[in-house]
Amino acid sequence: MRIGIGYDSHRFAAGDGIMIGGVHVPFHYGVSAHSDGDVLLHALCDALLGALALGDIGQHFSDQDPQYAGVSSLMLLQQVLVKMKQQQYRLVNMDAVVICEAPKLQPHIETMRCCIAQALEVELQQISVKATTNEKMGFIGREEGLAAQVVVMLESEFG
């Protein structure tokens, strides 16, 4: 068994929505990011890479590399899944929390769970996504950005 933790945050910028968990969430802002800025999938990639002792998302998908400009974070997650399979691990479960004052995420949570489960080729009950606020404190509380934390458990395919 292996456990990994991931964290990501992005500041809001001009735009008409944000990607969270592979789902476009309508909002009066976008995010400032090199890729699509999906904090949930970035934190998930970091958690998986950490559990595999393969470093972090920036080592594999540099924000200095033009090939990742505007790229879908689902594509990054699929590449991390390939690395996980190469090391012969599979996901036991994922638990995530997205922290933001706005937009309200509850209407999108099930779609996010489905999207992540499909991308990782696992059952829906293995994926947990929650949302919370920061009680108006800090950059998140001032609605300057959002963040996500993810914990994963992996097991060897050899049991």
Question: No. of H helices and E strands in the chain?
Answer: 5, 7
Mention every residue, 6+ apart, whose C-beta is less than 8 A from residue 118. none
Decide if 82 contacts 114 (C-beta within 8 A).
no
Mention every residue, 6+ apart, whose C-beta is less than 8 A from residue 106. 131
In this model, does residue 50 exceed pLDDT 70?
Answer: yes
Measured distance CA(85)–CA(154) in Å, rounded: 11
What band does 121 get if pLDDT is binned at 50, 70 and 90? very high
Look at residues 137, 140, 159, 149 and name the one whose alpha carbon lies nearest to residue 88. Answer: 159
For the chain, the domains span 2-156
What is the model's pLDDT at position 62?
A: 76
What is the model's pLDDT at position 151?
A: 98
Measured distance CA(146)–CA(84) in Å, rounded: 27
Q: What is the fold of 2-156?
A: 60s Ribosomal Protein L30; Chain: A; (3.30.1330)
If one compares 46 and 58, the residue with the highest pLDDT of the two is 46
Measured distance CA(11)–CA(9) in Å, rounded: 7
